[in-house]
């Protein structure tokens, strides 16, 4: 029996690990790689095994860096079950369709650019003169149905006619729908058969709604094995959902191999109890400048946590009651999922809201933006307001348009409340903004490039790490020492190389046996 590591290996995204026994092949997560477009697309298209040979897939939670390649596996003949918690199954319905829509939209836009550029060259004069603006408008009119929609039929026809290279999406909505048909959701602490002489049991990981530690029990050659996969480990004492499980059932406590995340293996977060006053300070100071607060927020988990905290601040009259706009159709849908699963809420949420007949994620100042037209109008809103918009790493979605219209204004604040992976736009904004702040905001503002244009980053950039859904170094150690698990060996995954190696050395000094696998490496479980 052994585990082979194919994703989130000395990096954060693309989680995927293969558990192999004599009888079965089980995949733990199947996430998308995120980062530079070309590099991530190439990595995502590679499937290092035959999906048809898999018995089942076990999904720790619905975040796309853990679930985003499931439609690709379904597209390539995976026909087993996708086993997860009930809340994860409910959230995945929206997240995977959204991911597929993004794949299709990105491919369509790239094909549009290919055709437009090719036609522009053909309409240029032999002397190399640039195409006129009038001719550009004529070409655009041919290739676009309207301001927002591309004429994909015409684009496809022109690609074929002129023998241009066509970009295909990683998968389509139909592939996502096919994958969703394979989902089976189960409650926590409920053993589920996932193969021959193999079961898994989910325990609450406290990361996001439905997230789970997966405890796998397998029997091979007359011996029992235990593998625990943490997925992502949540923080303790955070609002809404329960803390990460420390009390495991007796039959699950002897762990041969713990596959453990290490996202913040060398970092400490702000204490959870400090988050409200810090957010209060950001809102108040931005309001005094006459500015707005722009928050790139993951649609699943982070948006709901922010709404909860803002609701508390507004109820306490601790901040100016600015309009709050949730400008993400996906976040709107996921917020409904949160409302449908109060059984996973912690006692604090029940006491603060549910017992009083209040919805934690709704009040008179919260507006869920629906149409594209509403979003466009909000881009140009000059009165102070708060915007929560996806994606959390600023790689796609409506947040890009809010940044486009807002980051040049020094009165505004871009508030980063989540992890920003290497090579993402969010990471560039964060690094440049913090460096500019450290200089006392002297000299020319740094420049950020997106949408093929450069924008001066004059807005204040602030990071509140306490909103992270990932445990920090000390919280992960707390989980290891305070849980009733007895762990033989730990394999560290899901961390950038400097974080993961530092955490490995830290844990070794604490007396743990630790390995840091490389991509494609296998560890035998003995």
CATH number of the structural domain spanning residue 404 = 3.40.50.10890
Instruction: Identify whether residues 285 and 410 lie together within a single domain.
Output: yes
Same domain for 107 and 211: no
Question: Do 350 and 494 reside in the same domain of the chain?
Answer: no
507 and 376 assigned to the same domain? no
* Count of all residues that appear for the chain in the document: 526
Give the count of domains, the chain: 3
Q: Can you tell me the distance from the alpha carbon of 512 to that of 428, in angstroms, rounded to the nearest whole number?
A: 35
365, 364, 366, 357: which is closest to 331 by C-alpha?
A: 366
Rg (CA), the chain: 24
Separation between Cα atoms, residue 261 and residue 15, nearest integer Å: 10
Give me 210's structure tokens. Answer: 């439905």
Q: Does residue 155 contact residue 111 with C-beta atoms inside 8 Å?
A: yes
Residue 476 and residue 340 in one domain: no
For residue 384, whether the previous peptide bond is cis, meaning omega lies within 30 degrees of 0, is: no
Q: Where in the sequence is the domain holding 250, given as residue range(s)?
A: 2-95+175-267+469-524
- Alpha carbons within 13 angstroms on the beta-carbon side of residue 241 total 26
Its pTM stands at: 0.87
Same domain, 223 and 326: no
- Same domain for 313 and 413? yes
**344 & 425 share domain:** yes
Is there a contact between 67 and 30 (Cβ–Cβ < 8 Å)?
A: yes
pLDDT in tens, the chain (526 residues): 999 999 999 999 999 999 999 999 999 999 999 877 778 888 999 999 999 999 999 999 999 999 999 999 999 999 999 999 999 999 999 999 999 998 998 899 889 989 988 888 776 655 555 666 776 677 777 888 876 788 889 999 989 988 999 999 999 999 999 999 999 999 999 999 999 999 999 999 999 999 999 999 999 888 999 999 999 999 999 889 999 999 999 999 999 999 999 999 999 988 877 788 999 999 999 999 999 999 999 899 899 999 999 999 999 999 999 999 999 999 999 999 998 888 889 999 999 898 988 999 999 999 999 898 999 999 999 999 999 998 888 988 899 999 999 999 999 999 999 888 888 899 999 999 999 999 999 999 999 999 889 999 999 999 997 788 899 999 999 999 999 999 999 999 999 999 999 999 999 999 999 999 999 999 999 8
- For residue 213, the Cα-to-chain-centroid distance in whole angstroms is 18
Specify whether the CB–CB gap between 26 and 18 falls below 8 A.
yes
Could you say which of 467, 493, 508 is where a domain stops? 467
Report d(CA 459, CA 416) in Å as an integer. 12
Q: Give the CATH number, domain containing residue 499.
A: 3.60.15.10
Does some domain include residue 166? no
The partner residues of 389 in beta bridges, in order of sequence, read 296
Q: Does residue 412 share a domain with residue 307?
A: yes
Q: For the stretch 274-298, what's the b/e string if a residue is b when 16 or more beta carbons lie within 10 angstroms of its beta carbon? A: ebbebbbebbeebbeeebbbbbbbb
123 plus 246 within the same structural domain: no
| CA dist 2 → 214, 219, 515 (Å) | 16, 13, 14
Question: Burial level of 312, CB count in 10 A (0-12/13-18/19+)?
Answer: middle
Q: Indicate the residue among 121, 136, 161 that finishes a domain.
A: 161
3-state secondary structure of 273: helix
The reply to whether 302 and 446 lie within a common domain is: yes
Whether residue 210 sits in one domain with residue 62: yes
Nearest to 233 by CA among 183, 280, 285, 269: 269
């Amino acid at each position: 029996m052994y585990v082979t590591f194919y994703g989130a290996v000395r990096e954060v995204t693309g989680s995927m690990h293969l558990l192999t026994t004599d009888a079965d092949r089980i995949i733990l997560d199947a996430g998308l790689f995120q980062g530079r477009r070309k590099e991530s697309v190439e990595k995502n298209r590679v499937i290092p095994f035959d999906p048809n040979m898999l018995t089942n897939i076990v999904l720790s939670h619905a975040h796309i860096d853990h679930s985003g390649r499931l439609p690709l596996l379904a597209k390539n003949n995976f026909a087993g079950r996708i086993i997860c918690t009930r809340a994860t199954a409910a959230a995945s319905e929206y997240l995977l369709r959204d991911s597929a829509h993004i794949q299709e939209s990105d491919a369509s836009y790239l094909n549009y650019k290919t055709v437009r550029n090719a036609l522009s060259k053909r309409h240029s004069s032999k002397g190399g003169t640039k195409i006129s603006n009038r001719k550009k408008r004529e070409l655009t009119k041919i290739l676009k149905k309207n301001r927002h929609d591309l004429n994909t039929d015409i684009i496809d026809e022109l690609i074929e006619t002129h023998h241009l290279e066509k970009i295909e999406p990683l998968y389509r909505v139909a592939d996502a729908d096919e994958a969703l048909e394979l989902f089976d959701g189960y409650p926590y602490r409920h053993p589920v058969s996932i193969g021959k002489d193999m079961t898994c049991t989910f325990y609450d990981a406290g990361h996001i709604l439905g997230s789970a530690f997966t405890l796998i029990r397998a029997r091979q050659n007359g011996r029992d094995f235990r593998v625990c996969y943490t997925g992502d480990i949540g923080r303790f004492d955070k609002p809404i959902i329960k803390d990460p499980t420390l009390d495991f059932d007796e039959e699950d406590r002897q762990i041969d191999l713990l596959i453990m995340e290490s996202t913040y293996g060398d970092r400490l977060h702000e204490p959870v109890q400090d988050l409200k006053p810090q957010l209060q300070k950001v809102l108040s100071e931005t309001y005094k400048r006459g500015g707005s607060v722009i928050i790139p927020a993951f649609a699943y988990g982070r948006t709901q946590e922010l709404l909860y905290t803002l609701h508390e601040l507004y109820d306490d009259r601790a901040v100016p009651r600015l309009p709050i706009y949730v400008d993400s159709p996906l976040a709107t849908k996921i917020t409904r999922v949160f409302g449908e699963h109060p059984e996973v809420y912690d006692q604090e949420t029940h006491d603060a809201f549910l017992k009083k007949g209040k919805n934690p994620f709704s009040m008179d100042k919260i507006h869920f933006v629906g149409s594209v037209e509403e979003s466009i109008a909000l881009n140009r809103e000059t009165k102070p307001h708060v915007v929560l918009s996806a994606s959390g790493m600023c790689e796609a979605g409506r947040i890009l348009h809010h940044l486009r219209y807002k980051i040049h204004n020094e009165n505004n604040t871009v508030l980063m409340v989540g992890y920003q992976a290497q090579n993402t736009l969010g990471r560039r904004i964060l690094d440049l903004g913090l460096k500019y702040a450290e200089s006392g905001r002297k000299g020319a503002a740094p420049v950020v490039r997106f949408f093929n244009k450069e924008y001066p980053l004059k807005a204040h950039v602030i990071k509140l790490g306490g909103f992270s859904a990932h445990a920090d170094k000390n919280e992960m150690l707390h989980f290891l020492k305070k849980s009733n698990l007895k762990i033989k060996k730990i394999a560290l995954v899901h961390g950038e190389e400097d974080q993961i190696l530092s955490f490995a050395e830290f844990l070794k000094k604490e007396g743990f046996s630790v390995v840091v696998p490389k991509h494609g490496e296998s560890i035998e479980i003995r």
